[in-house]
Amino acid sequence: MKCPFCGFEESKVIDSRPADDGERIRRRRECLGCAKRFTTHEVIETVPIVVVKRDKSREVFNRSKLMSGLLRACEKRPISMEQIEGMIDSIEAQLQSGYDREVTSQHIGELVMEILKETDKVAYIRFASVYKNFEDTDTFLEELSRLHKTQS
């Protein structure tokens, strides 16, 4: 690790401790050249997830797109930002823990619908109406009756 003060390339670790709920490790180091101390953060490097869209194009998973869709579905519902971020964290963790580095947008949509169904039925219906491309009220009513049957 290069010293930020003198540029010497060797240092020793004085102290290590978890940071950010165990997502990173904070290390205090001492430069072996000038003896000044500095802090570094070590983070697990993740392999990016590639999303295969319906038209077969590919793009890197974008957390903010998922946030945008969930915010629209949960608008004016009693769902906090912490809950929405928790949903996104859960979905992202499921994607990261899978062996496939490529996932379909349909798979992500299904994960979102699962989590919304457990969290808020109205937000679920809102998301499903866009995701499943409801074209008329009959389709909407069919989904509502399926949701009602699973609750009973």
Q: DSSP letter string over the chain?
A: ---TTT--S-EEEEEEEEETTTTEEEEEEEETTT--EEEEEEEPPPPPPEEE-TTS-EEE--HHHHHHHHHHHTTTSS--HHHHHHHHHHHHHHHHHSS-SEEEHHHHHHHHHHHHHHH-HHHHHHHHHHHTT--SHHHHHHHHHHHHHHH-
Residue-number span of the structural domain to which 31 is assigned: 11-43
Judge if 128 and 65 occupy the same domain.
Answer: yes
Whether 5 is covered by a domain: the verdict is no
Q: Please give the model's pTM, rounded to 2 decimal places.
A: 0.68
What is the predicted pLDDT for the residue at 38? 96
**Domain-embedded: residue 1:** no
- Does residue 62 surpass a pLDDT of 90? yes
What pLDDT is stored for residue 152 in this prediction?
A: 66
Place of tokens 């909407």: 140
Do the domain assignments include residue 71? yes
Task: Indicate whether 15 and 84 sit together in one domain.
Answer: no
Residue 51 has pLDDT above 90, yes or no: yes
**Region 123-140 average pLDDT:** 88
Number of domains in the chain: 2
How far apart are the C-alpha atoms of 151 and 112, rounded to whole Å? Answer: 18
Would residue 21 count as lying in a domain?
Answer: yes
Q: Are residues 76 and 137 in the same domain?
A: yes
- Asked whether the predicted pLDDT for residue 4 surpasses 80, the reply is yes
> Which residues on neighbouring strands pair with residue 52, listed in sequence order?
58, 104
92 and 147 share one domain = yes
Pick from 66, 56, 69: nearest CA to 104: 56
And the tokens for 55?
């038209």
Q: What is the mean pLDDT of residues 44-65?
A: 91
Instruction: Tell me, yes or no, whether 55 and 72 share the same domain.
Output: yes
* Chain centre distance of CA 91: 6
Indicate if the pLDDT at residue 142 is higher than 90: no
Q: What is the mean pLDDT of the chain?
A: 91
Kindly indicate the confidence band of residue 22, based on its pLDDT and cuts at 50, 70 and 90: confident
* 81-130 residue pLDDT tens: 999 999 998 998 899 888 788 999 999 999 999 999 999 999 999 999 98
φ, ψ of residue 27 to 5 degrees: the values are -125, 130
Judged against a pLDDT cut of 70, whether residue 21 lies above it is answered with yes
Residues 27 and 99 in one domain: no
Question: Can you give the pLDDT at residue 69?
Answer: 95
Name the CA dihedral angle for 25, 44, 51, 98, rounded to a multiple of 10 degrees: -110
Q: Cα–Cα distance between 98 and 52 in angstroms, integer?
A: 15
Residue 25 located in a structural domain = yes
Report the pLDDT value the prediction gives residue 148, as an integer from 0 to 100.
82
Residue 133: pLDDT band by 50, 70, 90 thresholds?
confident
